[in-house]
Amino acid sequence: MHSKQPQPAADARIGFFDRLAEEWDTSEQDPAETVREVERCAERLDLHPGDCVLEVGCGTGQLTEWLVDRVRPGRVTALDFSPEMLRKAAAKGIDAAFLPADVCRDDLGRAEFDVALCFHSFPHFRDQPAALRNLARCLKPRGRLIVMHLHGRDEVNEFHRGMGGEIGGDLLPDDARWRDWLKAAGFDPPEISDGKDGFLLQARIMAVD
């Protein structure tokens, strides 16, 4: 007799982000300014035409079109687990694939992507080690994880603590934890820069001899 697998408890963040979706592009910083700020550090992201990119936690797709332009003829797959965020993103007519998925749980394929980019999203993943393992599986050999914030780690974490509620505990890990979790997931040691210019982490899938 088969016992039924317990379903993971629903993530309360889905409802939280669903509720924010309608106002997301108008309530905070102008999305065009966000794109300009990313553009200013584009060299450090090292994206190239032909790259296949997974944008993880794309929200309403504020960055998605910029990514598409950057990597064309490569493809961008933009995923989010908030149906309302994803609906807003998909309605923008951007030449990307939009995927309803939970990065902590859902199968994202095997060795499909050159780059997985988490822009302003990683703190919200409820099981961060599981998300890293999942992203490692869907990256190609020597594929790259990028975690990016336009503000430094302390500022991001303070902001979330101040918000409280569903996202009050959503934090960027400290360096030691990043190193442990990334190693366990099969990544090389990360390069991390953190400060007034924002937070940027990059790590490649470990080479196999």
Ligand X SMILES: C[S@@+](CC[C@H](N)C(=O)[O-])C[C@H]1O[C@@H](n2cnc3c(N)ncnc32)[C@H](O)[C@@H]1O
Q: Of the candidates 38, 103, 132, 145, which one interacts with ligand X according to CB under 6 A?
A: 103
Q: Of the candidates 124, 144, 149, 153, which one interacts with ligand X according to CB under 6 A?
A: 124
Question: For the chain, what percentages of helix, strand and coil (3-state, to nearest 5) are there?
Answer: 40, 20, 40
CB nearer to ligand X: give 51 or 80.
80
In the range 57-96, which residues lie near ligand X by CB under 6 A?
A: 57-59, 62, 79-82, 85
With contacts defined by CB under 6 A, name the span among 39-47, 99-107, 137-145, 158-166 that binds ligand X. Answer: 99-107
Q: How far apart are alpha carbons 67 and 74 in whole angstroms?
A: 10
Shortest separation between residue 101's beta carbon and ligand X, angstroms: 6
At 53, phi and psi to the nearest 5?
A: -120, 135
Written as one string, the DSSP assignment of 101-152 is: --TTTS---SS-EEEEEEES-GGG-SSHHHHHHHHHHHEEEEEEEEEEESS-
Bridge partners of residue 80, in order along the sequence: 100
Shortest separation between residue 3's beta carbon and ligand X, angstroms: 26
Amino acid at residue number 165: G
CB nearer to ligand X: give 14 or 206.
14
Size of the site for ligand X (CB under 6 A): 19
119 touches ligand X (CB under 6 A): yes
Q: How far apart are alpha carbons 182 and 156 in whole angstroms?
A: 20
Instruction: List residues binding ligand X (CB under 6 A).
Output: 13, 17, 57-59, 62, 79-82, 85, 102-104, 119-121, 124-125
